[in-house]
Structure 1
Amino acid sequence: MIRRLRIAVSCIAAVWLSGCGVFDSRVEWASGPYEVLWIDEPADAHLAYRLTATASTPVVNTCVSAVAENADYIAVRQRLRVVGAVERFVILPKRRYQPMADTASIVIGPLSAAQYAQVSSRLALPALTPVGMPDICNGASRLYGGP
């Protein structure tokens, strides 16, 4: 009986540890229906729009490392997974966004740091707040073989 119990517990532990476990996703920042979250790995952090309690749609792709918002806009900084990649910035007009629609016509960016400084000042965006694990996507991460 004890042997069967050990086998059963071992099998349950193996499945739990090898599959999607407790730490397979996390919301790093949220405001209304918008959130920065990752699924499977922290480097997958992206800006999403929450559709239901269990479903969301991506708005800005992976490697979101900072966010700023005011009543009208959400801005994010992306640090891509490529060593030496320049960070880029994307600004989303909150009231014009429609889930599942093409966002290319309403999104401002991607912008360089200099362009972002000008546009964010004009739009009265506050300073960016870091989210998630620092430097997870900038090529210096231990997960991606950086220094």
Structure 2
Amino acid sequence: MSDPINRSSVRREFWAHVPTEKMTATEWEALCDGCGKCCLNKLEDEDTGHVVLTRIACRLLDDTSCHCSQYEIRHQFVPECIQLTPKSLPDHMYWMPDTCAYRLIYEGRPLFPWHPLISGNAQSVHDAGVSAQGITESEMDIHEDDWEDYVIEEPT
């Protein structure tokens, strides 16, 4: 599967000078590095609020490309899928991956060299070993009571 975002159509280094609320829809979408980690199911400790990743992926995640197989109509299949927007970003920081560009921009940090906007190559996130590529199990195959057995450290 090819990269669904045409990164060549966005302004060079827009993320460094355009506030998120002023970004075009294409620019906003281009911030996604395609790692797939946001589509991994997480477990949250009710007492501490600490969130951990599991290898259990949303049923729509393509484990090879790390893209949603039904992105445009995902809410038809997964109504609880979060629509991340500049406005909703602060509410979702607690579960966002540490390497996520949305989180990095929000926190005023630079993008990693492997980010496709920096490298110019959508494959670079996978080559750097920071994606969920090839490590997932579908949520359709693992009972939720067993998810604790699939906790992982975030690939960083």
Normalised TM-score (structure 1): 0.23
* Structure of larger gyration radius: 1
Higher fraction of helix: 2
Normalised TM-score (structure 2): 0.23
Higher fraction of strand: 1
